[in-house]
Chain A
Amino acid sequence: EDKVVQSPLSLVVHEGDTVTLNCSYEVTNFRSLLWYKQEKKAPTFLFMLTSSGIEKKSGRLSSILDKKELFSILNITATQTGDSAVYLCAVARGGTSYGKLTFGQGTILTVHP
């Protein structure tokens, strides 16, 4: 059974702080790991990682995957109140399991002014 575990489950910081969110996984025939941001309702896509050790960046957000140790981290630097959201990690299998992701529980990030 595929398993995705995120930590911490919740985090409260102040604007300007840097945060690191963790995601560990156990999955058969790993294909990719994805990060989503969920504000209010629909999750929105942040990153997809398939190769170990290659950092993906988008502005103040960055993520890296370690396929040997089976984990990924999502870093957010200089946090803003608009970063407050639930951050979801998901893994996808290879083969024909398109759109069939296994999600972690999510990390609730709260950024205070």
Chain B
Amino acid sequence: NAGVTQTPKFQVLKTGQSMTLQCAQDMNHEYMSWYRQDPGMGLRLIHYSVGAGITDQGEVPNGYNVSRSTTEDFPLRLLSAAPSQTSVYFCASSYGGATNEKLFFGSGTQLSVL
């Protein structure tokens, strides 16, 4: 049972480069989201999706794009990487209904932008 799988685990980019962080879940969860974690700031929501074809912005969406073409996958795209995007990124998913806040997290992607 894989749960939430994120790739890559580590990435180094140069300023201006673009890349996609991959996220896949095999639990048939409707809801998926991306968070970034910076020291002293907890986790902050970037984008989220309540189902295939539906996405919305979170607290810190600038510089990131998402799409949700299938229930399983929710990739996060950095359009033109900036040093301020150096962070640890977590993908998370959850069931609907009464337990939709119980997020299952992936193992994270540590991104450095030089």
Tally A residues with Cβ within 8 Å of B: 24
Q: How far is the CA of A101 from the CA of B101 in the complex (A)?
A: 7
Identity of the chain A residue whose Cβ is nearest the Cβ of B108 in the assembled complex: A41
Q: How far is the CA of A20 from the CA of B90 in the complex (A)?
A: 27
Tally B residues with Cβ within 8 Å of A: 30
Interface of A is mostly: strand
Q: How far is the CA of A96 from the CA of B30 in the complex (A)?
A: 13
The residues of B that contact A25 with a CB separation of less than 8 Å are: none
Question: Is A60 on the interface with B (CB-CB < 8 A)?
Answer: no
B:6-52 near A, CB below 8 Å: 30-33, 35, 40-45, 48, 50
Q: How far is the CB of A7 from chain B (nearest CB, A)?
A: 13
Q: Given known contacts A41-B107, A98-B31, A99-B93, is B42 in contact with A4 (CB within 8 Å)? A: yes
A:50-100 near B, CB below 8 Å: 88, 90, 92, 96, 98-100
Question: Is B113 on the interface with A (CB-CB < 8 A)?
Answer: no
Q: Which of A88, A92, A98 contacts B43 (CB 8 A)?
A: A88
B: residues with CB less than 8 A from A are: 30-33, 35, 40-45, 48, 50, 58-59, 90, 92-94, 96, 99-108
A–B complex contacts, Cβ < 8 Å, 7 sampled:
A42-B105, A42-B106, A42-B108, A88-B42, A88-B43, A99-B33, A99-B50
A: residues with CB less than 8 A from B are: 4, 9, 31-32, 34, 41-45, 48, 88, 90, 92, 96, 98-106
A-B interface, 9 closest residue pairs, ranked by CB to CB distance from nearest:
A103-B42, A99-B31, A42-B105, A98-B100, A92-B101, A103-B43, A98-B31, A99-B33, A105-B42
